[in-house]
């Protein structure tokens, strides 16, 4: 299945086996068009689709609240996405059905189905640290969609403005200093939701050995099995649900 993961900084695309999470060939990674306006991003997705020939439904993970094919927030992309029929516009451009879902939810689906959360009951929070902080909450394996807890306010500032991977880079924070900010975010989430497990994902997990041991919580903390690829894998799984049963 062809799947996309749109972020505030990069757009990724790959061909994914939704049954195993395996990725065929290389993942395409392109900078998100400046401003991340709908027309430019949709053009980019259509172009990337031509580079990865495939058939059938397509998955699209996107950094927004998503309902019935439309985006309803736009924290790290152009505000013109709000209310846009993203599913319909992309389907029209590529001539194929599209599964459209929140990017952290997509990553969570991948991790809970085949990754670090597989077989885990109780409350699990999957957090993706990138341009912002994405969140996905599962209770006994069932997703509560569109939680967007990266926008939770901590001491007058949104969580993702304190502890995203982009903040670490922009402020030149060392791993110890950044991990302390992440721990404050984890403590706030735990105080409100009492998860049994945090699964930490996003591109920053490539450096897990540097910061993972510095993270602390009353909940168990583990890295995402699929690291920064979880979003496209979960998007492919959502696309597979659109395919007719053979």
CATH number reported for the structural domain that contains residue 15 in this entry: 3.30.420.40
Residue 123 banded pLDDT, cuts 50, 70, 90? very high
pLDDT tens sequence across 61-71: 999 999 999 99
Q: Three-state DSSP class for 152? A: coil
Q: Is residue 113 part of a domain?
A: no
This prediction has a pTM of 0.94
pLDDT tens sequence across 74-120: 988 999 999 999 999 999 999 999 999 999 999 999 999 999 999 99
pLDDT tens sequence across 150-207: 999 999 999 999 999 999 999 999 999 999 999 999 999 999 999 999 999 998 999 9
pLDDT at 72 over 60: yes
Q: 49 and 142: one domain?
A: no
Q: Three-state DSSP class for 190? A: helix
Q: How many Å apart are CA 86 and CA 68, to the nearest integer?
A: 10
pLDDT tens sequence across 213-230: 999 999 999 999 999 999
Q: 124 and 93: one domain?
A: no
Q: How many Å apart are CA 218 and CA 208, to the nearest integer?
A: 19
Q: How far apart, in Å, are the Cα atoms of 246 and each of 1, 59, 235, 243?
A: 15, 19, 20, 9
Residue 246 banded pLDDT, cuts 50, 70, 90? very low
Q: 169 and 215: one domain?
A: yes
Q: 162 and 77: one domain?
A: no
Buried b or exposed e, range 54-70, using 16+ CB within 10 angstroms:
eeebbbbbbbbbbeebb
Domain interval for residue 26: 2-104+230-240
> Domains in the chain: how many in total?
2
Q: Is residue 165 part of a domain?
A: yes
pLDDT at 240 over 80: yes
Q: Three-state DSSP class for 241? A: coil
Q: How many Å apart are CA 189 and CA 201, to the nearest integer?
A: 16
Q: Is residue 38 part of a domain?
A: yes
* pLDDT at 178 (0 to 100): 97
- What average pLDDT does the segment 31-45 reach? 94
Beta-carbon count within 10 A of 24 CB: 12
* pLDDT at 165 (0 to 100): 95
DSSP H helices in 84-229 = 86-94, 103-114, 160-163, 165-171, 175-193, 208-211
Q: 70 and 167: one domain?
A: no
Q: How many Å apart are CA 67 and CA 27, to the nearest integer?
A: 27
pLDDT tens sequence across 129-152: 998 999 999 999 999 999 999 999
Q: Is residue 112 part of a domain?
A: no
* pLDDT at 135 (0 to 100): 97
Q: Is residue 70 part of a domain?
A: yes
pLDDT at 245 over 60: no
Angle made by CA atoms 157, 159, 163, in degrees to the nearest 5? 110
Residue 232 banded pLDDT, cuts 50, 70, 90? very high
Q: Three-state DSSP class for 95? A: coil
* pLDDT at 244 (0 to 100): 63
Q: Is residue 110 part of a domain?
A: no
**60: which strand partners?**
4, 100
């Amino acid at each position: 299945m062809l799947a996309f993961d749109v972020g505030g900084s990069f757009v990724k695309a790959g061909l994914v086996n939704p049954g195993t999470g395996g990725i065929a060939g290389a993942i395409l990674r392109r900078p998100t068009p400046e401003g991340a306006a709908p027309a430019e991003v949709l053009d980019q997705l259509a172009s990337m689709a031509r580079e990865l020939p495939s058939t059938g439904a397509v998955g699209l993970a996107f950094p927004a609240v998503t309902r019935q094919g439309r985006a309803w927030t736009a924290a790290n992309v152009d505000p013109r996405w709000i209310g846009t029929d993203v599913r319909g516009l992309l389907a029209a451009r590529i001539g194929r059905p599209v599964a459209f879902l929140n990017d952290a939810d997509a990553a969570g689906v991948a991790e809970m189905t085949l990754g670090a959360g597989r077989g885990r009951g109780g409350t699990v929070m999957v957090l993706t640290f990138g341009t912002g902080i994405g969140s996905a909450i599962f209770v006994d394996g069932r997703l509560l969609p569109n939680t967007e807890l990266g926008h939770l306010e901590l001491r007058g500032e949104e969580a993702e403005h304190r502890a995203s991977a982009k903040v670490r880079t922009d402020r030149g924070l060392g791993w110890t200093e950044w991990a302390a900010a992440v721990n404050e975010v984890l403590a706030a989430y735990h105080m409100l939701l009492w998860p049994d497990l945090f699964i930490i994902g996003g591109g920053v997990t490539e450096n897990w050995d540097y910061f993972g041991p510095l993270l602390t919580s009353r909940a168990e903390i583990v890295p995402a099995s699929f690291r920064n690829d979880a979003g496209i894998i979960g998007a492919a799984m959502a696309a597979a649900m659109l395919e007719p049963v053979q």
